[in-house]
């Protein structure tokens, strides 16, 4: 049966980068026997401006029925104030993650040799970096109750958010990380603040138990979140799979992105246990460069590779796409964000062309 793929390009550079990812997926549908039923729908602030709603009901119905969603980006700082809060909630990415129970957010960070010069880190530190952060995505600080801002007796205000994790939420995240590590180098770093947070101590205890009882072949290393932030830039090659909560995962995955020199390179996948998934580049709508045709589409294209691996269940095709991206980079294909000073930069569509050319060459190589 054809995979039901819903494309939500959204705002800013979202439509520019998802267009290139869709071209690549259409190539796989046409040439590699991966049947896909691709639908595109309006969503986000652009949709609100044009049609008065960030999230049309019809789009929402398609979101809940899709096998896979390819998401671009949403938001722009200068427009957020004008959208009513109710409309913003309807159109929020948090609502999608929660409704679909997309608890496992995978953010792979891999530095191809061709990009060693684009990294702000020294080549000897960053060469060979290849790890995945599994960020728990449906609980913790961004969802915990009570939350809000209240006025105290003296008239000043108090802001409250609650960091809360149930044991079951920790167990399923750590299980996912350990299963992932079994197909990799069998090393999981579990990140928390067990030294100062009760919920962190629980996280640490439960993670150790899951790894010991269910995954005897996996080495589980506990690490404090502040130390992890340091190690990600000091020694990124020591990591294989990192599992952590929603808040730390948000921060650490951006810190990890430093290894690549640009947010535009980073893909992500958010998965549930029912076989549904949302794929998106880690970057936002990049209003500073939107509409110029210069955004880097590789985060979106590498998200399509994750889609081939996790939704189409065709890991060899995912690897083919990742090889093609490496080959295009090795041949010098660069957008401005990863080009060296003075180096010629391609447009967003130019990178799409380069990846499609590389795919064509890869499949013509003798096996």
Taking the least distance from each CB to Mg ion, the nearer of 284 and 352 is 284
Considering only the stretches 19-27, 130-138, 259-267, 306-314, report the one whose residues sit in contact with ligand NAI under the rule CB under 6 A: 259-267
Taking the least distance from each CB to ligand NAI, the nearer of 104 and 220 is 104
Residue 136 interacts with Mg ion (CB under 5 A): yes or no: no
Residue 279 falls in the annotated catalytic set:
no
Tell me the CA distances in angstroms from 92 to 153, 266, 280, one per residue in order: 33, 21, 14
Using DSSP bridges, classify how beta strands 267-271 and 277-281 pair: parallel, antiparallel or unpaired.
antiparallel
Considering only the stretches 25-33, 185-193, 250-258, 333-341, report the one whose residues sit in contact with Mg ion under the rule CB under 5 A: 250-258
Considering only the stretches 103-111, 152-160, 239-247, 281-289, report the one whose residues sit in contact with ligand NAI under the rule CB under 6 A: 281-289
Q: Do 362 and 327 contact (CB within 8 A), yes or no?
A: yes
- Out of 254, 326, 353, 357, which one is annotated catalytic? 254
Q: How far apart are CA 83 and CA 48, in angstroms?
A: 8
Q: Do 207 and 176 contact (CB within 8 A), yes or no?
A: no
Q: Which x/- pattern over 276-315 shows residues binding Mg ion (rule: CB under 5 A)?
A: ----------------------------------------
Residue 17 interacts with ligand NAI (CB under 6 A): yes or no: yes
Which of 33, 50, 52, 77 is in the footprint of ligand NAI by CB under 6 A? 77
Token pair listed for 108: 């792979």
Considering only the stretches 54-62, 155-163, 166-174, 261-269, report the one whose residues sit in contact with ligand NAI under the rule CB under 6 A: 261-269
Q: How far apart are CA 287 and CA 212, in angstroms?
A: 46
Q: How far apart are the first and last CA of the chain?
A: 29
Residue 75 interacts with ligand NAI (CB under 6 A): yes or no: yes
Residue 130 falls in the annotated catalytic set:
no
Taking the least distance from each CB to ligand NAI, the nearer of 129 and 262 is 262
Query: Which partner in Mg ion, ligand NAI, none is near 288 (CB below 5 to 8 A by kind)?
Result: ligand NAI
Torsion angles phi and psi, residue 290, rounded to 5: -65, 145
- Out of 193, 240, 245, 337, which one is annotated catalytic? 193
Q: Do 212 and 174 contact (CB within 8 A), yes or no?
A: no
Chain position whose Cβ is nearest to Mg ion: 250
Least distance (Å) between residue 254 CB and Mg ion: 5
Contact footprint for ligand NAI (CB under 6 A): 13, 17, 73-77, 93, 262-264, 280, 283-289, 295-296, 299, 337
Active site residues: 142, 193, 226, 250, 254
């Amino acid at each position: 049966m054809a995979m039901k793929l819903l494309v939500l390009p959204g705002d800013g550079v979202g439509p520019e980068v998802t267009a290139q990812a869709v071209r690549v997926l259409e190539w796989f549908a046409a040439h590699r026997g991966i049947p896909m039923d691709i639908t595109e729908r309006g969503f986000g602030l652009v949709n609100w401006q044009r049609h008065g709603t960030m999230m049309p009901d019809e789009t929402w119905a398609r979101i809940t029925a899709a096998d896979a969603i390819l998401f671009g980006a949403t938001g722009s700082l200068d427009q957020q104030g004008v959208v009513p809060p109710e409309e913003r909630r309807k159109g929020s990415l948090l609502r999608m993650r929660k409704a679909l129970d997309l608890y496992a957010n995978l953010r792979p960070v891999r530095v191809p040799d061709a990009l060693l010069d684009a990294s702000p880190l020294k080549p000897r530190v960053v060469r060979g970096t290849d790890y995945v952060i599994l960020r728990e995505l449906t609980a913790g600080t961004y969802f915990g109750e009570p939350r809000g801002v209240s006025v105290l007796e003296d008239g000043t205000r108090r802001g409250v958010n609650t960091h809360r994790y149930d044991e079951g939420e920790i167990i399923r995240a750590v299980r996912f990380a350990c299963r992932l590590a079994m197909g990799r180098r069998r090393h999981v770093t579990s990140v928390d603040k067990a030294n100062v947070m009760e919920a962190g101590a629980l996280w640490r205890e439960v993670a150790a138990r899951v790894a010991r009882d269910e995954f005897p072949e996996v080495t589980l290393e506990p690490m404090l979140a502040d130390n992890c932030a340091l190690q990600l830039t000091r020694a990124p090659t020591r990591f294989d799979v990192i599992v952590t909560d929603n808040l730390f995962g948000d921060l650490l995955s951006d810190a990890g992105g430093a290894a690549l020199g640009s947010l535009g390179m980073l893909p992500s996948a958010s998965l549930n246990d029912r076989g549904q998934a949302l794929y998106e580049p880690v970057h936002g709508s990049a209003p500073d460069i939107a509409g110029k045709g210069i955004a880097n589409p590789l985060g979106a294209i590498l998200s399509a590779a994750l889609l081939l691996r996790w939704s189409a269940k065709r890991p060899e095709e995912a690897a083919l796409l990742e090889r093609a991206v490496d080959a295009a980079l090795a041949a010098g294909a660069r957008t401005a964000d990863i080009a060296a000073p003075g180096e010629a930069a391609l447009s967003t569509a130019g990178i799409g062309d380069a990846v499609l050319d590389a795919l064509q060459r890869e499949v013509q190589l003798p096996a």
